[in-house]
Structure 1
Amino acid sequence: MSKTILYARVSTADQTLEHQKTQAEAAGFAVDAVVSDHGVSGVSTRLRDRPEGKRLFDMLRSGDTLVVRWVDRLGRNYQDVTDTIRELMRQGVVIRTVINNMTFDGATTDPMQEAVRDALIAFMAATAQAQAEATKEAQKAGIEAARADKTRYRGKKPSYDRKAFEMVQNMSAQNAGTSEVAKATGLTRQAVIRIRKDPAAAEAALTRWGM
């Protein structure tokens, strides 16, 4: 007896398993079983190499239907996705997507229909990989921007540490001269003058840098 299996890949950035199952049922799929992988990369890990992906291949038989929210759940690597879909079709498995209600069936023998189907598979797999690469680049840019903003917010790192700052404060309270303080702390005269001029700002700089 043929069965309908929903495969869901769940990552921190994507929809939850329950959401994917609810979407499939709302689209009219009567799901007999759900197989899901959690926290597995669709870019670097082939479907066959995922813990539950292996089980999925063992479960599927000719005449079964594999349902996925979209082809990116199978993976985000062009070669892996296209190879997976074609292998399953050769085994007699029908692949259907919840989004856009796409159907990939290896039963067709019409050359034109095969060409259209294969071109569509290639396009969707390429789109999935392109989206993954775009997301990765956006995340990288965001991290770099955040680092830059943090550095600008913190300002220039102080040339003195907290021990030197406290020595400047203590010696200044004893009316020590600038040159004497600089020699004792190892700071430049300019640094000593800046600390003496605005000790609150000097203290704040140390705090911003966690010093």
Structure 2
Amino acid sequence: MTQTIAQKMYGYARVSSKDQHLDRQLAALEQFGVEPSLVYADKASGKDFNRPEYQKLVARLRKGDVLVVKSIDRLGRNYDEVIEEWRRITKDRGANVVVLDMPLLDTRERQDGITGVFIADLVLQLLSYVAQIERESIKQRQAEGIAAAQARGVRFGRPRKRRPASYSEARRSFQEGRITRKQAAACLKVSPSTFDRWIREDDDQVKESA
């Protein structure tokens, strides 16, 4: 006779930095019925899943176990990666996932015959789509903002060095062949490439005014 392994309910909590607190998440997990000894917590970014406590938790998950988090962003910030990790937990390991702040994200069997896995997959796909639209919208707004600022004459990047008072004399000496470009740049305390750029800009201004 084979002995069945009791199913366990684990909790996971995460904050992004060490000065943030886990109290609210831990309280929500305990209220849901997760034993404190089965709660894993990280103080790390949600950009990926390379977090020590999270990896320990996933390694312990067995078929039928339940992983509980307070909100979906406690798992991660990138919805595409969250979906991939979600499927690894629910399909590869056969465990369930419950998100307390979003009841539709509950993969446990439902009484109406529709599985929680099916509903959760649909919700996650929708969240991923909304996140992608928002990322594209942010990029578009940034591009429009940069274009509008450039139209107003705003320059981006590092400010260019201003020509020192001795620039005209150094340029004349260089053009007359009395000093080299490196010597001229050294006198002005700039790099030869900066000196070359100043010369080109002067030539361009002369051409435009001609």
| TM-score w.r.t. length of structure 1 | 0.51
- Take 2:116 and 2:101, find their aligned partners in 1: how far apart are those partners? 21
For residues 104-183 of structure 1, the aligned pairs below 5 Å read 104-105=106-107, 115-126=118-129
More helix by percentage: 1
Aligned residues: 155
Q: Secondary structure at the match of 1:99?
A: coil
Deviation at 1:111, TM superposition (A): 8.1
Offset of residue 130 of structure 1: 7.1
Matches within 5 A, 1:20-39: 20-25=25-30, 28-32=31-35, 33-39=38-44
Does the residue aligned with 2:12 lie in a helix, a strand or coil?
strand
How far has the Cα of 1:114 moved from its partner?
A: 5.8
Distance 2:77 2:133 in 1: 8
Distance in 1 between residues matched to 2:11 and 2:71, nearest whole Å: 11
Compared with structure 1, are the counterparts of its residues 111 and 62 closer, same or farther at alpha carbon in structure 2 (3 Å cutoff)? same
Separation in 2, partners of 1:128, 1:14: 27
| Residue matched to 1:70 | 71
Equivalents in 2 of 1:77, 1:17: separation in Å? 21
Preserved CA contact (<8 Å) 1:11 1:38: yes
Judged with a 3 Å threshold, the aligned counterparts in structure 2 of structure 1 residues 53 and 127 are, in CA distance, closer, same or farther, namely farther
Identity over aligned pairs, percent: 30
Q: 8 Å contact 1:6–1:34 — kept in the other structure? A: yes
Distance 1:118-1:12 versus aligned 2 partners, 3 A rule: same
Deviation at 1:115, TM superposition (A): 4.9
- The question of 1:79 aligning with 2:80 is answered yes
CA contact (8 A) 1:76 1:128 kept: no
CA distance, structure 1, for counterparts of residue 117 and residue 60 of structure 2? 26
Residue 101 of structure 1: SS of its match in structure 2?
coil
Find the counterpart in structure 2 of residue 190 from structure 1: none
Q: Distance in 1 between matches of 2:129 and 2:7?
A: 30
Q: Which residue of 1 aligns with 2:16?
A: 11
**Map of 2:191 onto structure 1:** none
Cα pair distance change 1:14/1:93, threshold 3 Å: farther
Give the Cα separation in 1 of the matches to 2:15 and 2:108: 27
Query: Post-superposition shift, 1:102?
Result: 3.3
Q: Counterpart of 2:206?
A: none
What are structure 1's unaligned runs of at least 5 residues?
141-211
Pairs within 5 Å for 1:168-207? none
Distance across 2 between alignment mates of 1:24 and 1:129:
30
| Structure 2 SS opposite 1:41 | coil
Choose the corresponding residue for 2:7, options 2, 11, 30: 2
Give the SS at the match of 2:102. helix
8 Å contact 2:46–2:75 — kept in the other structure?
no
C-alpha contact (below 8 Å) 1:68/1:98 kept by paired residues: yes
* Letter in structure 1 aligned against 2:32: F
Which runs of no fewer than 5 residues in structure 2 stay unpaired? Answer: 1-5, 143-210
For 1:105, give the aligned amino acid. Answer: T
Contact 2:11 2:34 in 1 (8 A): yes
Moved over 4 A (4+): 110-115, 125-131
Q: Offset of 1:24 from its aligned partner?
A: 2.7
